[in-house]
Chain A
Amino acid sequence: MSRILCIALLLVSAGMSVAQDFKDILVYPSDNGKILSDFLSEQERTNAVDFVFDAKKMKPYTLVGISQKQRLIDFLNDYLTNFKVFRYSDQIIFIVDGSTAEKFSLKKENFLLFDEKARSEINLKGKVEDGISHDRLIGAKVYLPRTEKTDVTDAQGRFNLGPSQGDIIELDIEYIGYEPNHYIIGFSPFGKDTEISASLFPISRELESVTITADRVDENVTAKITGVENLSIANIKIVPAFLGEVDPIRSLTTLPGVSTVGELASGFNVRGGESGQNLVLQDGATIYNPSHLFGFFSAFNSDMVSNVTLYKGGGPANFGSRISSVLDVSLRNGDSGKHTVSGGLGLVSSRLSLEGPIIRNKSSYLVGGRFSYCNWLVKATDNISLRNSAANFRDFTGKIFHTLNEKNYLTLSGYNSYDDFKLATDSVFSWSTSNVSLKWDHTFHENLFSALTVFSSNYYSEVHSISEIEGFRYANAIRSVGLKYDVTNILSEESKFTAGVESTGTRMEPGKLTPDDQFDNVIPQDMQDQRSLESALYVQWDHNLSEKWSLSAGLRYSYFLRFGKEDIYTFNYDLPDGRYPSIRDTVSYNNGEVIKRYSGFEPRISLSFLINTMSSVKASYYRGFQYLHLISNTSSSTPQDYWVTSGPYLKPQSGDQYSLGFFRNLEDHRYEFSVEGFYKNIANAVDYMEGADITLNPSLEAGLSQGKGLAYGVEVLLKKSTGRVSGWLAYTWSRSLRKFAGQRPELTINKGEYYASAYDQPHHLSVILNYQLGLRSFLSANFNYSTGRPITIPVSKFSYDAYLSVLNYSDRNDYRIDDYHRLDLSLTLKDKARNNKRLRSEWVISVFNVYSRKNTYSVSFNRYGTASKMAVLGSIFPSVSYNFRF
């Protein structure tokens, strides 16, 4: 009996001391004056409960105003007016400040409780998934608003914010198209959570439009690398679109340091570089011509793009091969939870994309295509020359994402496009691209992962001269196959290390002429294919040296081989054949035999100094080699560009770029301001010599001159990202010069003095304004101005023998065409979202070239030297398009 009594007493006493409920904890007038935090700690010890609160915030508070015995929880609710007291369980109470509590309705799932032992330095990591489909969400932004520490979920939907400290930690997770989640993380002896597993749900209610990027709000100031432009789809979409088609490249050209030489220009120019000096990647595969339809549309289907990053330099060491810039475009993964159709209908083109699960929650597909049908416009007229004009494009993009297991993921991306056009001539210009890339992401452990990408890029362009007498097809092509493998190790929150290797084999067809018919008027010609292999090893180290200083350093070693089978001419420079040296001999190289080797180190370093939380100074240096050269006939009114490889007579180009910038955010990061200067030296820049025959010339390389390139300038950006009115103003002053003083007089251009390159446009201004009219509508405006591009013109003429008109030309690029400027407007009207309605749609009404500026695309000269300019769209051009998703 005594034993039973003892046990009962033990149980009662234990119940009194351990299992006491919060409502049984009382405060008395005698407690007045005690320090609240100490008092709560005392209660934790005596009542086996836990109060989770921020000790620093609670420190000023003492118990006052207790006139009679009352429950502690009632006292806290009445007394802590700036706080919210949330009863998490019978044993645990969270005390959070009111501003935090306002961010969400206080629900238990918003609180996470970690073991008290982890308080000293918890490693915040976890995963983010779709709350319905449970698919992992890639690219979700996870950040700590108090410390502004940010991470983005990887291909497995995982994130790792690294060590964090504090009694209470707030955590926000955002993902485009989903309701954001907010978490409060506390520490308690009763805590059991070890990592964060977040489920986001698609937006089902109407939200005011927000711009969500994967960047920190202070990215402008804190990013380690200079010259990086990261455009989210949200930002891309606010630039008024021509014919309603959102375009990443057109949006990029509104940023400082990025320009095009005008309408119909293929590609873009970065900091005075040629378009061929930009590496354009889509999911790792190179796109050699990123333009559709006179450059009005880019190769990228915005419905399928996840992120667009432009490195105005070379970027980190895992990128190379080009000396001006890298444009890295990532396609998004398809929805692995449900099937979705989206698209858009426009006046001259439409697009459609489908996505959905292949194996639910394991693999997904995303396929989409665009095609144009603008010929109905021109065919509807009796104007003969216009009826003879035509332009078409179509493209197809696809991506399959498959989860092998939690540590292995496969991504297969494909892209195919075709373009053709003719402008009241008998020649049809066409080009096509076929790319495939396969990527395997592997996680060794949470801080060590790798990516293996195998890719193939094929580009083919052709001029088809339609003539019953002298019809021909002139084609050139480039085909490349390569692989890239890199391993990334996150050494600590402050340090990340990447190492990798890549190799690309390329086969070029510099020119092939095929007659259309049996007549002998055109003689078939086929220039020898050029074969090369470009390989590289690289390491990249990103490290925060201190709270103020951070470093991003990389080293790349590239190695280039040109190999046979090929016949290489040797030249006799003492015996000219016209302006070319005569061919002395031919050296035949067998299949695989090395013709020429080049190699070099490509260091790059970027140093950032954080002056304060709102401003920083950054400096960088970049060196790169480029082994493939784009030869452009810049005087042509038609696209006549083709690629050649470095070899015995053509050295690789190298670029050294220095930049220094000041970055400043204003008014709580609502405004971003930056001013950045750059200076770029290019060695072995390529241009054609005077009188060079660059078409189907077996001695082509002897007609190309190599010299110096020099570009320098200042870029200014003022950006407002939030509020009813947002947008940016970008101004660039820059020069892009060339100097060719060859060893032979023929290779000297403009007397060996510096002259403006074809891309030299000293002043470039872009103003983008976005005005939120209401919850579902916004008005956008885009104004562009740039100095007219340089041109070589006939300055006089004379008659000679049988010819009435022989032209004398100016020095190369000694004149300029008119300045370019244009204003576009667009109005986007979105429909109202309803929970029971899957269809979401929007109308985009755009007005291109509002004040009908006849901007010059090209200036051509007839045989008598008379100039005429062509403006592709010389008038106001309104359009309407309808975009949908269901």
Chain B
Amino acid sequence: MKRLRFFVLFLVIAGCVEPYEFVVKDPSPSLVVEAYISDKSYNETLAYPSDGRYFTVKLSETGDVTNVRPVPVAGAVVELRSREGETWLYEEGNGGIYTLFDNDFKARKGVQYQLQITLPDEHIYESEWESMPDVNVPPMGDIGFKESQKQVYVMESNQWVLRTKQTVIANVQVPVNTCGEEIHYRWSYAPIWIYVAPLISQADPAYRCWATDPYYLDTYALQTDRSGGYRKDLFDLLTVRNERIFEKFSALVTQQAMTQAYYNFWKEMKDQNEGSPLLDTPPFNLKTNFSSPTGGKKVSGYFGVTAEQAKRWYFDRTQLSYYMPNTLRADCLVVYGPGPPAEECTDCRAYSFGKAVNVKPSWWPQ
């Protein structure tokens, strides 16, 4: 009987799930355009404070679904045009990045802009004429936080168990909407934090670093606002054993107000990637505002013009209402086997959860 049972089991299991491949009828790639401009120039972004941001256009090609890395597009001519006859030329850099090196350029309200791309095969791709949203966006509200709890699964004794973890949720005050129109907001984040190597002298240049990680908080929040006057949750940070908040954590929160079409582009991208919280949704393609008058390839992506504001938020564990110990030193002193402690315990530049440099940003507070 036991043999029979396992035989049947084997049959059930054997037929379950396996990889499947389709042969795509037309494998020729599409052009992907990732671009926006805003009403904040490079010089103005320095005052956020930040390292400053030039407007860029990222050109790449779609790959087949088994491909991991994006394929950059080189040799293109990228030009920004306004209805008023102005033109700006982007300079080509590495990795399909084209940059508009103009410290003072910014989008003006009421002016329509178009991005035009000419690829080496002389096919031209044009965006639709886009402009900033026709609303008066109130000044950006302050960034704050609230303490919270979060249920997460953690591995304990080789088992996933549910645990309640302390967190802080960063939020932004959405100002009262007095314009009577819908405002479509998107918030994105650029985090940076201090990491100190706990087992070396504070005088050592390798003691203190400023760390960044492009994949940490690489999300965005969206909100269509009709009234304002409330706080919008943006992202959360675990507080227990999170070395990012032991010394000082900072996030540049950039707020973009945009047209509804551009907003929907971001919303659908989020939906497609994160899925419905409930059930599967039917597959769909994101909309694009690019087309090729010369009959070039298909285009994915969007060119948007936004009203931009930003605020920098600082946070550390001392702001919590409860005591949160710095566990870095204790963790580094745990002996896991022969040999020295992990390098990041003695050299902050060897930090393993991001890229760390021991040069303080010029705008970092004393």
Contact = CB atoms under 8 A, between A and B. Distances in A.
Interface size class of B (residues with CB under 8 A): 35 or more
Contacts of B267: 578
A687 B345 CA distance: 59
A869 B20 contact: yes
Interface string B143-184: 000000001000000000010000000000000000000000
Contacts of A792: 282-283
Nearest to A688: B282
Given A864-B65, A868-B17, A692 B220 contact: no
B282 A692 contact: yes
Contact of A633 (B12, B15, B188, B282): B282
A861 B19 CA distance: 10
A545 interface: no
Nearest to A866: B65
Contacts of B151: 468-469, 519
A695 B34 CA distance: 30
Interface string A468-488: 111010100000000000000
A578 B268 CA distance: 9
B15 A637 contact: no
Interface size class of A (residues with CB under 8 A): 35 or more
A455 B279 CA distance: 33
Interface in B232-283: 260, 264, 267-269, 272-273, 275-283
Interface in B45-81: 60-68, 70
A793 B282 contact: no
A633 B279 contact: yes
B280 to A, nearest CB: 4
A867 B20 contact: yes
A803 B17 contact: no
Contacts of B301: 798, 800
B260 to A, nearest CB: 7
B8 interface: yes
A377 B282 contact: no
Contacts of A635: 280, 282-283
A691 interface: yes
B286 to A, nearest CB: 7
A695 B272 contact: no
B13 interface: yes
Nearest to B24: A795
B84 to A, nearest CB: 28
Interface string B6-20: 101111111111111
A635 B279 CA distance: 11
A805 B67 CA distance: 10
B70 A876 contact: no
Nearest to A692: B282
Interface in A794-846: 794-810, 814-815
Q: Is the interface of A mostly helix, strand, loop or mixed?
A: loop
Given A386-B13, A869-B18, A468 B162 contact: yes
Contact of B65 (A381, A807, A872): A807
Given A798-B70, A807-B272, A871 B283 contact: no
A802 B221 CA distance: 12
A359 interface: no
Interface in B1-52: 5-6, 8-22, 24-27, 29-30, 32, 34
A868 B66 CA distance: 12
Given A377-B8, A694-B282, A806 B277 contact: no
A522 B269 CA distance: 22
A862 to B, nearest CB: 10
Contacts of B32: 798-800
A377 B12 contact: yes
B219 interface: yes
Interface in B274-300: 275-286, 300
A873 B14 CA distance: 8
A513 B278 contact: yes
A383 interface: yes
A861 B20 CA distance: 10
B121 interface: no
B218 interface: yes
Contacts of A634: 282
Q: Which of A636, A803, A808 has the most CB of B within 10 A?
A: A808
A100 interface: no
A796 B282 contact: no
Contacts of B61: 798
Contacts of A875: 10-12, 14-15
Interface in A376-435: 377-378, 380-381, 383, 386
23 contacts: A380-B5, A386-B9, A386-B13, A513-B278, A576-B260, A578-B267, A579-B264, A635-B280, A635-B283, A638-B280, A694-B282, A795-B26, A796-B64, A797-B62, A797-B64, A797-B67, A803-B273, A806-B273, A810-B25, A814-B25, A868-B20, A871-B16, A874-B14
Q: Lowest 3 A-B CB distances belong to which pairs? A: A874-B15, A865-B65, A691-B284
Given A577-B260, A875-B14, 17 more contacts: A377-B9, A381-B9, A381-B13, A474-B279, A634-B282, A688-B282, A792-B282, A796-B27, A796-B30, A796-B65, A798-B70, A798-B300, A798-B301, A800-B34, A807-B283, A814-B25, A864-B65
Interface of A: 347, 377-378, 380-381, 383, 386, 463, 465, 468-470, 472, 474, 513, 519, 522, 576-579, 633-638, 640, 688, 690-696, 792-810, 814-815, 852, 854, 856, 859, 861, 863-877
